[in-house]
Chain A
Amino acid sequence: QKEVEQNSGPLSVPEGAIASLNCTYSDRGSQSFFWYRQYSGKSPELIMSIYSNGDKEDGRFTAQLNKASQYVSLLIRDSQPSDSATYLCAVNSPNDYKLSFGAGTTVTVRA
């Protein structure tokens, strides 16, 4: 079983729509969860971090964490063409600082 799994893509949404990304993780002791955006040929950039159950909003992005279900999601509202990228879910190991990444979901926002 993979440590971090993301919903398979690619995901294509029209401009202005909501893009919904999902991620599950296997280590119940994980405490820190991250969503990164990665453009082709570039390094990942942090979109959102979340540590507590519930929702966390930052602009057009909302992360949701449910530790009981070992599930973390990311919503992108009012999607823009510039949001077209691969989104990586990452989970911190409870015993060290190592990050485990999901395979990524490629999002395309159609103008």
Chain B
Amino acid sequence: GAVVSQHPSWVICKSGTSVKIECRSLDFQATTMFWYRQFPKQSLMLMATSNEGSKATYEQGVEKDKFLINHASLTLSTLTVTSAHPEDSSFYICSAPDAGTGGDGYTFGSGTRLTVV
């Protein structure tokens, strides 16, 4: 089945630095990638939608200059958290629609646990 590989699985960074998270579709072309954030004991909240070859669209309240999304190819989407602060510590998950590959809707990456100290 469709697989989305997400790296790193966890990262600890200092406040003020930037962190890049990668999601690669391994056996299908992901023209769209959704990026979610999940705080402890809360549900997944959609941050933005990236589309290959075009600008990402951000949900209300998400700072596009802080969360830079690039979808440069049909198999790679990246999220860069710029000037990270402790309040950005969260679980970040990517997801791509996979119906065209015989999947049943969406394939999720394994998630990235970001801790900003």
Q: Do A and B truly interact?
A: yes
Report which A residues bind B (CB closer than 8 A). 32, 34, 41-46, 49, 88, 92, 96-104
**How far, in whole Å, are A42 and B46 apart by their CA atoms in the complex?**
17
Given contacts A43-B110, A98-B49, contact A32 B43 (CB under 8 A): no
Q: When the two chains form their complex, are residues B110 and A42 in contact, meaning their CB atoms are under 8 A apart? A: yes
For residue A32, which residues in chain B have a CB less than 8 angstroms away from its CB?
105
- Chain B residues numbered 10-47 whose CB sits less than 8 Å from any CB in chain A: 32, 34, 42-46
Given contacts A41-B113, A99-B34, A99-B95, contact A88 B43 (CB under 8 A): yes
**How far, in whole Å, are A34 and B93 apart by their CA atoms in the complex?**
17
Q: When the two chains form their complex, are residues A43 and B104 in contact, meaning their CB atoms are under 8 A apart? A: no
Smallest beta-carbon distance B77→chain A, Å: 14
Given contacts A41-B113, A88-B44, contact A49 B105 (CB under 8 A): yes
Given contacts A42-B111, A43-B111, A46-B105, contact A101 B43 (CB under 8 A): yes
Q: Chain B: interface residue count, which band?
A: 20 to 34
Is B8's beta carbon under 8 Å from chain A? no
- A44-B93, A88-B43, A99-B34 given; 13 more Cβ-contact pairs under 8 Å: A34-B105, A43-B93, A43-B109, A43-B110, A44-B44, A46-B105, A88-B44, A97-B106, A98-B34, A99-B95, A99-B106, A100-B46, A103-B43
23 chain-A/chain-B pairs, Cβ below 8 angstroms: A34-B106, A41-B91, A42-B111, A43-B93, A43-B108, A44-B44, A44-B93, A44-B108, A46-B104, A49-B104, A88-B43, A88-B44, A96-B49, A97-B34, A98-B46, A100-B46, A101-B43, A101-B44, A101-B45, A102-B43, A103-B42, A103-B43, A104-B43
